[in-house]
Structure 1
Amino acid sequence: MQESFEIKRRFGIEIELGEEVSKETVSNFFSEKSFHASKADIYRPSCNNDFWHIKDDATCGTMGRQGPKGVEVASYVAKSFFDLENICDLISELPTLGCKVNKNCGFHIHADCQDLTKSQVAVVTAFWIKIESCLKYSVPLSRRNNRYCAMLGPKLKIKTLQRFPDAELFYNFCCPKDIGFFENKERKVNFNLVNYARACHYGTSSKKTLELRWPESTLNKNDIKNWTILFLNFIENCKFKEIPDNFFDLNLNETLDILGLNSDFEEIKQLKIWLLKRFSKYTSAFKEEAVEILSLADK
């Protein structure tokens, strides 16, 4: 067996909670339990923070914008598998305070991509578009057609036979035109490029991230860990590929391959099993195929 899976880039996660517990109570919990400081705040972007950033969120209360505000938990910038385990362990304790999630709550992962060129980001984005029609069946219905995490391909009106001679042309095609922080519709997709585009525009490496916005919020540490590894591993697996010559959807086996889930790392094997179980849970479209692959993965 190979050595343990290694996280190769910085990342941060955001967990949205309902209104059951105040941001001050949540912040105090992290101040007491974590090696990192915690700050309760109004809603504002988190950027290169070395503390837990606990803030209001008007969209994730049980009644959405029509009711009380929820709470967003933004982790400190993490750098290792140890950090990920620590973040997962602490968030999994939040139910002891009375914290809950609801269908309005999302779970977002920011991956630091300051090492990637625009062409590499274009390639990663292109492969995301090819797998999202399959991967949507690994999330609940509340996230599939959600206006805060819309599928990227349909949003860009990508055609299956559309071709781009080189990756940089595709980057120019998919690059967000609005790079603002607030009330920006181009952020409200499952795979968000706005922060990366904003950093390029201003010539800075600060918050030069790609963001996964698709998963439902969760306080389950196994779900948090696996979604984070899945996203980071997907970026590593695709960053040196060539731009695909079409945008046809991929099947389940092909999607697993693009996600980089065929390695011998024990963490990746467990991630693959976890993801296949989600397919079996949330859809009948790939259920038979998922069960068959799962039976082989479990051996």
Structure 2
Amino acid sequence: MTLSNRTFGVELEVILNGKTRAGVAQEVRRATGINIREERYGHTVPNAWKIVTDGSIGHQNGEVVSPVLSGEEGLEQAHKITEALKAAGCTVNPACGFHVHVGAGDLDLNQLRKLAVNFVHAETAMDCIMPVSRRADKNTYVQSNRSGFGGETENQKINNAIKAYERAQTKAALITHVSSNGSAGGASRYRKLNFQALNRQPSVEFRQHQGTVESEKVVNWVRLCVAFVDRSIVSRPRPRTALNAKHVETAELGQLLTWLRLEPEACKFFRARRKEFSQRAVERAAQQQREAAARAEAERLAAWEADAPARAIREAEAAAQAAREEEARHTAAAQAAAEAERVAREQREARAVEQTRYFAERRAAAEAALAAAMSARG
């Protein structure tokens, strides 16, 4: 499926690694033959590629901004520029972003509302193909479009966002609802889908993608964003009926890719991307467990070392107590032995007295009997 003729533009935040913006622009021009120049920062749509400052990544670096592009030809330009930036030594870090503007000047209020509704439906799927740092509300510059509308489950948040969007009777009101994310006075362009871009130019901005100098990521993300707008225009989004149902990443992404009707290679790319980030999450959790176990062991050893003086005192006291108890046991045993000997001696003495008395009585009886016998004779 080729890219439609809907217009789009890209913004690539890159680290220049000591090179000047003018120098990088010159290298890219030579490599691609595409006109690109250094310019001052501004929000006007350029008529050629430009590289400008961007305070969010440091003024020594740059943001590469395209003119209005469209179709496969525009996608090829984005591919060539990205490849040339990488060849020029440009890199990215976690602060960098990659933003895609998609033409929306032809969309009426109802079509814009459908676009906004479809995005809150798709946010779980969008999150699972992004790094953890650019999911939910983890990044100041890439905030959720649905979390602030309230609700304990994702489906409740979606339905609450839909109700808010349905109340908008003008484009301006809808832009406010989408930008505020359900918070009074909290309108911001730092949403994953930025509707405030419509106030300056006829486009909506997809801000969620992390910075990149990989052309495959750029091309596939542009395809997804353009297809998302195209499909939203002709869609009939509905609220979610199973309010307490949990979102399963694989299912949500599968539904999104089926709905977008992307070419098989793009679908394969995004499924592999989800799997990669899922595996990273597993590895990160395992690493966190290992680190937590190591910290616990270190704390245990530190506590053991810190407790050494008190432990030595306790051990000395325990040894002294054990010695006292052992001495007491010896004393008790000696006393018991002495008592047993006394009792045995008294018993022997009593038996000797008894025997002496017994024999004396026997002798006296015998002598009495003898005397009686002799008396009877005489």
User: What's the TM-score bracket when you normalise by the shorter of the two chains?
Assistant: 0.7 to 0.9
Q: CA–CA distance in 1 between the matches of 2:60 and 2:176?
A: 28
Whether 1:75 and 2:66 are equivalent positions in the alignment is yes
Whether 1:176 and 2:167 are equivalent positions in the alignment is no
1:112-147 deviation per Cα after TM superposition (whole angstroms, max 9, x unaligned)? 111111211111111111111232121112222111
How much has 1:261 moved relative to structure 2?
5.4
Q: Which of 199, 207, 225 lines up with 1:213 in the alignment?
A: 207
Report the secondary structure of 1:188's partner residue.
coil
Report the secondary structure of 1:283's partner residue.
helix
* Contact map agreement 1:118 1:168 (CA 8 A) in 2: no
Q: CA–CA distance in 1 between the matches of 2:165 and 2:187?
A: 27
How much has 1:37 moved relative to structure 2?
2.5
Q: Which stretch shifts more, 101-110 or 185-194?
A: 185-194
1:266-277 alignment to 2 at 5 Å?
268-277=263-272
How much has 1:195 moved relative to structure 2?
1.7
Q: Which stretch shifts more, 220-229 or 4-13?
A: 4-13
Of structures 1 and 2, the larger Rg is shown by 2
Q: Which of 239, 251, 254 lines up with 1:253 in the alignment?
A: 251
Q: 1:112 to 1:257 in 2, by over 3 A?
A: same
Letter in 1 for 2:125: C
Q: 1:254 to 1:87 in 2, by over 3 A?
A: same
Q: CA–CA distance in 2 between the matches of 1:151 and 1:165?
A: 15
1:1-299 alignment to 2 at 5 Å?
4-20=1-17, 21-47=19-45, 49-61=46-58, 69-144=60-135, 145-157=138-150, 159-162=157-160, 164=163, 167=166, 169=168, 174-176=174-176, 186-196=188-198, 198=199, 207-246=201-240, 251=248, 252-260=250-258, 263=261, 268-283=263-278
1:191-210 deviation per Cα after TM superposition (whole angstroms, max 9, x unaligned)? 100022x15xxxxxxx2101
Letter in 1 for 2:22: E
1:180-239 deviation per Cα after TM superposition (whole angstroms, max 9, x unaligned)? xxxx9611111100022x15xxxxxxx210111111111111111000001111111121
* Contact map agreement 2:120 2:158 (CA 8 A) in 1: no
Q: CA–CA distance in 2 between the matches of 1:177 and 1:164?
A: 10
Q: CA–CA distance in 2 between the matches of 1:177 and 1:128?
A: 13
Report the secondary structure of 1:210's partner residue.
strand
> What percentage of aligned pairs have identical amino acids?
19
Q: Which stretch shifts more, 22-31 or 112-121?
A: 22-31
Q: 1:257 to 1:237 in 2, by over 3 A?
A: farther
Q: 1:147 to 1:270 in 2, by over 3 A?
A: same
Q: CA–CA distance in 2 between the matches of 1:270 and 1:134?
A: 18
Report the secondary structure of 1:164's partner residue.
helix
Q: 1:35 to 1:76 in 2, by over 3 A?
A: farther
Report the secondary structure of 1:187's partner residue.
coil
* Number of equivalences: 262
User: Relative CO higher for 1 or 2, CA cutoff 8 Å, sep ≥ 6?
Assistant: 1
Q: CA–CA distance in 2 between the matches of 1:30 and 1:195?
A: 28
Report the secondary structure of 1:15's partner residue.
strand
Q: CA–CA distance in 2 between the matches of 1:241 and 1:286?
A: 33
Letter in 2 for 1:164: K
1:141-183 deviation per Cα after TM superposition (whole angstroms, max 9, x unaligned)? 222211111111114557344353985738666423899xxxx
Ranges in structure 2 where 5+ consecutive residues have no aligned partner: 152-156, 180-185, 283-378
* Residue 308 (structure 2) aligns with: none
Report the secondary structure of 1:139's partner residue.
coil
Letter in 2 for 1:176: T
* Contact map agreement 1:30 1:52 (CA 8 A) in 2: no
Q: CA–CA distance in 1 between the matches of 2:269 and 2:233?
A: 24
Q: TM-score, normalised by structure 1?
A: 0.77
Ranges in structure 1 where 5+ consecutive residues have no aligned partner: 62-67, 200-206, 288-299
Q: Which stretch shifts more, 81-90 or 109-118?
A: 81-90
* Contact map agreement 1:30 1:38 (CA 8 A) in 2: yes
Letter in 2 for 1:208: P
Q: RMSD in angstroms over aligned alpha carbons?
A: 3.0
